[in-house]
């Protein structure tokens, strides 16, 4: 029995799986009134028919995303792995988000980064952080775009709102997390505890200043 955690965005999820089979899942929207993630973890593992001591591996979303959410998810994953001496993995959050598309994954995933900037990912490239004003020039013409929060592309670039996948073509985060966890467990190497780091993509303005520095 293995565990996948994604607390990097507004939508959050836990999945317990056995091989490629989902045993139990929990989806929720981040809210200050939520019970602690540890409480949710205990409940979802019980629904899967086990207990935390039964876990044999854990993967957590590493970002980019919410600073607090990433710290919660990665700390929980590292703590479980360390205490139980089980393999520990990480997965990129925007690649997970892209898998929320029905059918094939979306070719572009966007997440609001605040301050008129977005975390942006497109297939085959690492995540970056872009000003909203540069997004139109960066988006491929025929992109299938998934956005968090949903519907935000219309406010960022009204003329390209049609590229965003509608609600009917979005799966629950737990379904995307399950697919990502299966791929990660099957194809990636586990990390040492001291190798686990959140992916904090630098603001575009900081990158521009660095490029101009002699």
Is 208 contained in some domain?
no
213: in domain: no
Q: Is there a domain that residue 35 lies in?
A: yes
pLDDT in tens, 142-163: 899 999 999 999 999 999 999 9
pLDDT in tens, 61-119: 999 999 999 999 999 999 999 999 999 999 999 999 999 999 999 999 999 999 999 99
Q: What is the CATH number for 139? A: 3.30.420
Q: Which of 18, 13, 5, 104 is nearest to 56 (CA)?
A: 18
List the end-to-end C-alpha distance of the chain, in Å, as a whole number.
52
pTM: 0.91
Sorted by sequence, the CB contacts under 8 Å of residue 7 that are 6+ apart come out as 30, 37, 60, 61, 66, 69, 70, 72, 73, 76
Residues 171, 98 contacting (CB under 8 angstroms): no
DSSP letters spanning 129-146: EEEHHHHHHHS-TT--EE
Are 164 and 182 part of one and the same domain?
A: no
Domain of 87: which CATH number? 3.30.420.40
Residue 194: the pLDDT is 82
Contact by Cβ (8 Å): 86, 57: yes
Question: Is pLDDT at 167 greater than 80 in this prediction?
Answer: yes
Number of separate domains in the chain: 2
Give pLDDT, residue 208. 52
Task: Identify the DSSP state of 164.
Answer: B
Per the structure, the complete domain to which residue 6 belongs is given by 2-93+172-200
Tokens linked to 141: 């013409």
User: Which alpha helices (DSSP H) does the chain contain, by range?
Assistant: 37-47, 67-84, 93-98, 132-138, 153-156, 173-187, 204-212
């Amino acid at each position: 029995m293995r565990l996948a955690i994604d607390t990097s965005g507004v939508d959050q999820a836990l999945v317990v799986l056995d091989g490629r089979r989902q045993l139990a899942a929990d989806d929720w929207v981040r809210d200050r009134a939520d019970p602690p993630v540890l409480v949710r973890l205990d409940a979802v593992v019980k629904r899967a028919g086990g207990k935390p001591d039964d876990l044999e591996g854990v993967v957590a979303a590493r970002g980019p995303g919410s600073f607090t959410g990433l710290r919660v998810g990665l700390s929980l994953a590292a703590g479980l792995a360390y205490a139980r001496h089980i393999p520990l993995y990480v997965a990129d959050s925007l690649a997970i988000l892209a898998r929320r598309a029905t059918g094939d994954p979306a070719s572009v995933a966007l997440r609001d980064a605040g301050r008129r900037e977005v975390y942006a990912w497109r297939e085959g490239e690492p995540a970056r952080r872009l000003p909203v004003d540069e997004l139109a020039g960066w988006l491929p013409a025929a992109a299938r775009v998934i956005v968090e929060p949903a519907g935000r592309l219309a406010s960022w670039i009204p003329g390209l709102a049609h590229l965003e996948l509608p609600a009917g073509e979005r799966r629950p985060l737990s379904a995307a997390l399950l697919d990502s966890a299966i791929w990660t467990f099957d194809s990636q190497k586990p990390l040492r505890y001291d190798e686990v780091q959140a992916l904090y993509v630098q603001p575009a303005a900081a990158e521009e200043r660095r490029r101009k520095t002699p």
